[in-house]
Structure 1
Amino acid sequence: MFALPVLAQDVDTPFFNLDYEITVDKSKLPLSAHVWGKDYIVQTDATVAKSGTKSVLIQKNADNAQFGCIATAIPAVYEGQTILLTGWMKLEGVTDGNVGLLLRIDGANDILEFENMDAQGINGTSDWAKYEIELPLPKDAQTIYVGALNGGSGKLWVDDLKISIDGKDISKATKKVVVELPAQKDKEFDGGSKINAITLTPQKTQDLKVLGLVWGYLKYYHPAIAAGNHNWDYELFRIVPKVLEAKNAAQRDAALLAWAKALGPFEKAPVVKSENVKLSPDLDWITTSGLSPELSTLLTDLKSATRTGSHYYIGLAESVQNPEFKNENPYKDMDFADAGYRLLGLYRYWNIIQYYFPNRHLIGEDWKGVLEEFIPKFVNVKTEKDYKLAALELIGRINDTHANVYGDPTIEEIRGNRFAAEIVAFTEGKPVVTRFMSRDGASVLQKGDVITAINGTPVDKLVQERLKYNPASNQPTKMRNIARALLRSNNNTLTVDYTRNGKPFKATLPTYTKDEIDLKLLSQKKDTCFKMLSPKIAYMYPGTIKNEYIPQFFEDIKNTDGLVIDLRCYPSDFIVLAVGEMIAKGSTEFVKWSNPSITTPGEFSVIPYMELQGRNNYKGKVVVLVNEVTQSMAEYSALTFRAVGAKIVGSTTSGADGNISPFYLPGNVYTVISGIGVYYPDGGETQRVGIVPDIEVKPTVKGITDGRDEVLEKAVEFINKK
């Protein structure tokens, strides 16, 4: 999807210039509007209008441009359940992409709701027509963005946008009564934590480990923090100096006890045992870490404090109930020399995993030991680069393919801002050229060439250096991620050693910026979502599919012997039910998942299994193709199709299923985690394990050299076998 930057809220009255009649001085940009995207013309047009004298024209202006967008930022100060955006669009020759209205709703630190109509496939040529988007209006919304975008070639005109909330025009909508909580009023450390350096000894490292445990436990368990009575980031900066001044564990615990007591008394409630618990809170450290009896008793009593489903720092998504992290300030202007903020980055991430990661039990090591290990790594670094590499390494330790650092300029520069045109994948343990991104002129390399060294460094050494900075659930997916960045650089050329048919060669490869090369080819998307492999075998590619196509497709193939569903991609639509109902023979249990708890942080409970009601429409064999690219929704689809009788062919998938939960670390580090646990109907794990194929087939170097798809060949062989 297209994401807008967080723009200033420069309008605070019901007039938002959404008819685009008023421009800024002599420019052609509408008053109060902002432009996002690159190499698109975005300006008012006085020759075309739905009403009044002007509309906004959005037109591609360079071959490699991705999208152009006009947007207006509106403060989300309105009460209501739903928001409706209507507007008029006129199209001329829109190809190679779609257009749409845009409605995005942001909270304090992340995107809460988003729609750009891309799934509707609006393109071509058409006269003025009215379109609309309706979304829920979250209670914690802070900014509403409205506008339109063009993601293709050709011209888009947009005019006369209107907003209504719960059926009322925004000018008549009821405004919120905003109450500022004590946590929001605390500004003492806006300019820095005042903790510029920390000298570590073994005892101080242990003290900071205990502080990290207690700080996170109080954050999620204490009712006063849940109520927003304390800025818990800033409370950390207040307690750190006292912990550092402590001469022994007894003084440390006394400081922590006084700090916790200052939060005030809390009411206790009877402990109610939860049902269907998959993962229990890890709180044994309260009694096994050698804490003073007084501190241990207070923390133990806090387990039974009265907690509601409302919390200043955590909520649950309305539908799937994955965690929503709230009021986690990204501190985008952080001074990376500030030791307090670096320590906050470690504590924030570690405790989010401790209490709200559904796969904590699958990390593969003692998570508390990881906290102690990383204290020196966060405390002793001084630069932005080293801090963000420490964060990336920490993220990698949870073994979740969803988890990474996304869109960070520092990390992208480390990986390389320029790309060779050659795409490689690890095959038979070697990085093999598999295809090419679109460029003028042919590459000196060929499919099947094996890269052995880059700029004189053996590939095996590069892999070992990069493993800890490439988060993933399992080894095949780590290698997938390493391969994607192997031929990235900040230089104009790369020197590679390679072999072809066993003979060594050397070549210099040019590199290109994102604007100079077609990065979309990295996703391997095909031109069509349906085709016939033979008169009796059909093929479905979900990477470019729409649910509306599926009924007709199954009608067309009802007399075929078999169907291949190629899930070596990310589905462009949620096809689980639409396809699953067509191939299921009856009512079938196909998945279980677990949800977190706000009242018992760290606990995840399994909801009852979900059933699929089959129509028994398709009688042929169904084969699903998977590999390490098969991730998240693609894995969920494969899991479902296997449950209703499909055979899985290929290799282990990425092992990261379930809705994601995003958040920021200090320094504007954006990351996500898998937010719910996803299991087979019998309770078997999918995280890290992935969808294990019924028939394992992996590409070979020879197969790539010969231009064969050996996984697809095996699927066809299975269908043809009588």
Structure 2
Amino acid sequence: MFLYGYTAGKFLAVNFMKIKFFFGILISLLVGIYFFSKRNSQKEGTVLFYNTIDSTGNNDSIAGKHKELLELCKTWGIIKYHSSDRDFIQTVDSSLIKDYNQIIAGNTDLNALISQKLELLSDSKDVKSSSYLGFLPDKNWIETSAIINKANKKKLIDFITGSYRNSDKRLVTAEDNGELSFEDDSLFYNETKTTPAKRFLALCKLWNTVRYYYPYFQAISGTWNDVFFEMLPLFINAKNDQEYSAAVQIFGSRLKDSHVAVKSGDADEYDGKYVGNVVLKTVEGKTFVKGFIINSIQSRLKKGDEILRIDGVNIISLQDSLKEKNSGSNETVLSRDINRLLLLSRKKTIQLEVARDNRILLIQEHLTEISTARKTEEQEYKTNAGKAVSKIIGKNIGYIRINDIFSGNFRVSFDKISHTKAIIFDLRAYPNEIAVDFLKYFDTRPFQTMNLYRADVTYPGMMRTIENEMHIPDSKKNAYTGPVILLVNEYTQSQGESMLLAMKSIKNSVTLGDYTAGTNGNVMIITLPGKVKIRMSGMGVLLPDYTAVQRTGIRPDILVQETSASLSKGEDIQLKEAVNYINKKL
């Protein structure tokens, strides 16, 4: 029996329509969720790993107050970089300065400060939501802390988990090109004078930035607490701007990252300085003149000269004195960068003691003002516009340097050597452009150049893959099919390493030379109180098989390393071996 005049047929018909409508909505919803999840998963990338740190520990050699300052630094980093409360974030730096002064004066308890900060955030949506079901990667240091009390441990963990549910914009943001932006994190930068408290803020900012956003943090994570304790007195006890800047440089050296550079103040640090025009290379404890930077600038030095002293000071002593403040991805690259500084001076002339042809000579080397050297180099670059910069060497072998070519002259340069039996690409310098459109002139194969990753700004410390926008172009019909030798060494760095990975798509290519610099990926720039900036790697690079090459470099197919014997003769044994390889092959 059906009430209200419904017959069984009408009941079934009406409910069938309802069921059909319901299933239509359900299917649409499921399809929408599917495509939304697919879109988001492509956008977010794959999680590779999390940056984690150790607990402060019970090392009796570290003063108790220093341990408190490290826990304060860690807690400040959690609150600042996980929070999306813009009004609160603006007060965090000033608050840290006050907290530092109170702890140093012994006027407060660290746990009281932590509790107070978290109480201010108790109404924030970062902590108000329901229970978090995801994975919390880095809470071990909180749970094992001997300084933070049980109540604050729970509050800190609750704050982090609450922030994970909230996808609102953080202080650090990601640009469309994948680079990280710290543009909104520049409080106290324009103040020329610093205090111990502001320099403590600078240290905490550096320490936490590396801890959360540095792509290669895993290589140094085990010693990161020790770095804080080592740097703390250098920062807070700096007596002037020079000592403060030196402290930042020493901090940067601990990253072993050749992208690291420190700038203090508004002026160009090279204003009024003079530079030599030679490339120096240290092998087997000896430093030789390997070549010259700008062809049109004269030098009294010759290839193969061994540098013994500069202005009467032993060169090894000079090199050792520069190591502390310079960051190199490995010893070879650190030596390269230090050698660049040896002939940098405020004097126009320096005296060099050199060994040449079994004789010891004293040479007065005239240096070039850096502004003049830059203009001369730029003029040489402009001169190459539209001109063929390639040449033919040996028995019909094409040769071209990567730092001579750009989109405006590659076509004519390639035409000049397109008929040769083989081509040598010299990648032992920094390229002018990152574009790889010129690869269309070569017979290439489908090739994944590299995997890129960076920090996920929503989940500080998480590293995710991002899209690699470097794509290999299709080859032209009459593409070059002969052997291509890619010359590499420690000067193949960053963009040069990216270019190398792209050029390995050439079917008949072989890499020859020495390990590359092992410094790849875009950079991030951090501003500190007192008009100090520091640059470091901000994007990670892995080979197609996810092998890391940071610090180690990319190994060539054929390893040819320079020796003191080859350098003393002024020989380029890598180029010589490339020519021999081609002649044997063909």
Quickly name the TM-score band, shorter chain normalised: 0.7 to 0.9
How many residue pairs get aligned? The number is 512
Specify the structure having the higher radius of gyration (Cα).
Answer: 2
Contact 1:596 1:602 in 2 (8 A): yes
Match of 1:541 among 382, 401, 405: 401
Deviation of 1:498 after TM superposition, in Å, equals: 2.1
Deviation of 1:660 after TM superposition, in Å, equals: 1.6
- CA–CA separation in structure 2 for the residues paired with 1:589 and 1:553: 27
Taking a change above 3 Å as real, the CA distance of residues 288 and 417 of structure 1, as seen in their structure-2 partners, is: farther
- CA–CA separation in structure 2 for the residues paired with 1:560 and 1:437: 28
Aligned equivalent of 2:503:
641
Q: Does 1:596 align with 2:455?
A: yes
Q: Give the secondary-structure state (helix, strand or coil) at the position aligned to 1:405.
A: strand
Contact 1:336 1:387 in 2 (8 A): no
Match of 1:237 among 94, 97, 104: 97
- Bigger helix share: 2
Q: Does 1:383 align with 2:243?
A: no
Q: Does 1:688 align with 2:546?
A: no
Contact 2:389 2:413 in 1 (8 A): no
Q: Which has the higher contact order (CA 8 A, sep 6+)?
A: 2
Aligned equivalent of 1:317:
175
Residues 678-697 of structure 1: CA deviation (Å, up to 9, x unaligned): 11110001211222222222
Contact 1:243 1:252 in 2 (8 A): yes
- CA–CA separation in structure 1 for the residues paired with 2:399 and 2:554: 20
Code of the aligned partner of 2:357: N
- CA–CA separation in structure 2 for the residues paired with 1:416 and 1:247: 48
Taking a change above 3 Å as real, the CA distance of residues 422 and 639 of structure 1, as seen in their structure-2 partners, is: closer
Code of the aligned partner of 1:490: R
Deviation of 1:264 after TM superposition, in Å, equals: 3.0
Aligned equivalent of 2:191:
334
Structure 1: runs of 5 or more not aligned: 1-199, 275-279
Code of the aligned partner of 1:455: D
Root mean square deviation, CA, Å: 3.3
Q: Does 1:373 align with 2:223?
A: no
Contact 2:80 2:89 in 1 (8 A): no
Deviation of 1:331 after TM superposition, in Å, equals: 3.7
Aligned equivalent of 2:66:
205
Aligned equivalent of 2:314:
458
Deviation of 1:715 after TM superposition, in Å, equals: 1.5
Code of the aligned partner of 1:209: L
Deviation of 1:217 after TM superposition, in Å, equals: 1.3
Deviation of 1:482 after TM superposition, in Å, equals: 0.6
- CA–CA separation in structure 1 for the residues paired with 2:456 and 2:298: 56
Taking a change above 3 Å as real, the CA distance of residues 465 and 288 of structure 1, as seen in their structure-2 partners, is: farther
Deviation of 1:438 after TM superposition, in Å, equals: 6.4
Contact 1:474 1:689 in 2 (8 A): yes
- CA–CA separation in structure 2 for the residues paired with 1:579 and 1:341: 50
TM-score (norm 2): 0.78
Aligned equivalent of 1:95:
none
Match of 1:678 among 501, 524, 541: 541
Taking a change above 3 Å as real, the CA distance of residues 554 and 305 of structure 1, as seen in their structure-2 partners, is: same
Aligned equivalent of 1:357:
214
Match of 1:573 among 407, 411, 433: 433
Q: Does 1:258 align with 2:116?
A: yes
Contact 1:309 1:598 in 2 (8 A): no
Match of 1:401 among 247, 254, 258: 258
Deviation of 1:478 after TM superposition, in Å, equals: 0.7
Aligned equivalent of 1:116:
none
Match of 2:493 among 614, 631, 648: 631
Deviation of 1:410 after TM superposition, in Å, equals: 8.6
Q: How does 1:552-567 map to 2 (within 5 A)?
A: 557-567=417-427
Deviation of 1:206 after TM superposition, in Å, equals: 1.2
- Bigger strand share: 1
Q: Give the secondary-structure state (helix, strand or coil) at the position aligned to 1:693.
A: coil
Q: Give the secondary-structure state (helix, strand or coil) at the position aligned to 2:450.
A: strand
Q: Does 1:297 align with 2:154?
A: yes
Residues 295-336 of structure 1: CA deviation (Å, up to 9, x unaligned): 1111111221145554352110102x2211122226455354
Aligned equivalent of 2:36:
none
Deviation of 1:548 after TM superposition, in Å, equals: 5.4
Taking a change above 3 Å as real, the CA distance of residues 269 and 485 of structure 1, as seen in their structure-2 partners, is: farther
Code of the aligned partner of 1:600: Y
Contact 1:208 1:375 in 2 (8 A): no
Contact 2:169 2:458 in 1 (8 A): no
Q: Give the secondary-structure state (helix, strand or coil) at the position aligned to 2:447.
A: strand
Deviation of 1:253 after TM superposition, in Å, equals: 1.6
Taking a change above 3 Å as real, the CA distance of residues 676 and 441 of structure 1, as seen in their structure-2 partners, is: closer
- CA–CA separation in structure 1 for the residues paired with 2:130 and 2:225: 28
Taking a change above 3 Å as real, the CA distance of residues 411 and 389 of structure 1, as seen in their structure-2 partners, is: farther
Deviation of 1:604 after TM superposition, in Å, equals: 0.5
Aligned equivalent of 1:166:
none
Q: Give the secondary-structure state (helix, strand or coil) at the position aligned to 2:526.
A: strand
Contact 2:194 2:530 in 1 (8 A): no
Taking a change above 3 Å as real, the CA distance of residues 534 and 621 of structure 1, as seen in their structure-2 partners, is: same
